[in-house]
């Protein structure tokens, strides 16, 4: 069973944040990434050793979308519990002004959409995170 919880910004100890995910807009459309080995995803990924979580978000946003110019805002923390193991991450919002070429890492392509794709890599997590991010983004 998968359990997703949302937490206030800075309520989780920094060293516990192992993921950064970025709900990103470009030209008033949401960016979704098609992973080469899975399905559609919100841009994001794992924090590298000794990396600041903000730097993780910036790196992942570039690697997964080709974003060159953007404004990034931290929104909230989240946790995912699977089989009694809990991991934590931070959700960001990005307004992307300029997209460059998509780097050749793990993303096949990106799409600008106003809906959540039906084929998701993490269908029990991503729709919840996406909706919460939209709500919190509208509050600032």
What tokens were used for 66?
């080709």
| Residue 139: pLDDT band with limits 50, 70, 90 | confident
pTM greater than 0.85: yes
Confidence grade of residue 98 (pLDDT, cut at 50, 70, 90): very high
Q: Which domain holds residue 33?
A: 2-137
pLDDT value of residue 43: 98
* Segment 87-102 mean pLDDT: 97
Percent of the chain surpassing pLDDT 90: 95
The CATH code of the domain that includes 15 is 3.90.79.10
- Own/partner long-range contacts of 131-137 (Cβ < 8 Å, ≥24 apart): 132/6, 132/76, 132/78, 132/91, 133/23, 133/75, 133/76, 133/91, 133/93, 134/23, 136/75, 136/76, 136/93, 137/23, 137/73, 137/75, 137/93
> 71 and 94 in contact (C-beta within 8 Å)?
yes
Size of the chain in residues: 140
Q: Of the given ranges (60-64, 73-77, 95-99, 135-139), which has the lowest mean pLDDT?
A: 135-139
The tally of domains found in the chain comes to: 1
The CA–CA distances, whole Å, from 95 to 27, 35, 86 equal 9, 21, 29
Average pLDDT, the chain: 96
Scanning the chain, the segments in alpha helix (DSSP H) are 53-65, 126-137
pLDDT in tens, 75-91: 999 999 999 999 999 99
pLDDT tens across 20-40, in order? 999 999 999 999 999 999 999
| Higher pLDDT, residue 11 or 105 | 11
């Amino acid at each position: 069973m998968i359990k997703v919880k949302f937490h206030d910004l800075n309520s989780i100890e920094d060293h516990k944040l192992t993921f950064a995910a970025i709900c990103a807009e470009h030209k008033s459309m949401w960016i979704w990434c098609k992973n080469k080995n899975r399905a559609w995803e919100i841009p994001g990924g794992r924090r590298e050793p000794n990396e600041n979580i903000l730097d993780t978000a910036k790196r992942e946003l570039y690697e997964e979308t080709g974003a060159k110019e953007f404004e990034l805002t931290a929104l909230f923390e989240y946790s995912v519990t699977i089989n009694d193991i809990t991991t934590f991450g931070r959700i960001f919002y990005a307004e992307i002004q300029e997209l460059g070429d998509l780097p050749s890492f793990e993303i096949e392509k990106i799409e600008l959409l106003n809906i959540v794709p039906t084929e998701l890599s993490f269908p029990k997590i991503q729709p919840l995170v996406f909706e919460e991010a939209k709500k919190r983004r509208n509050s600032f």
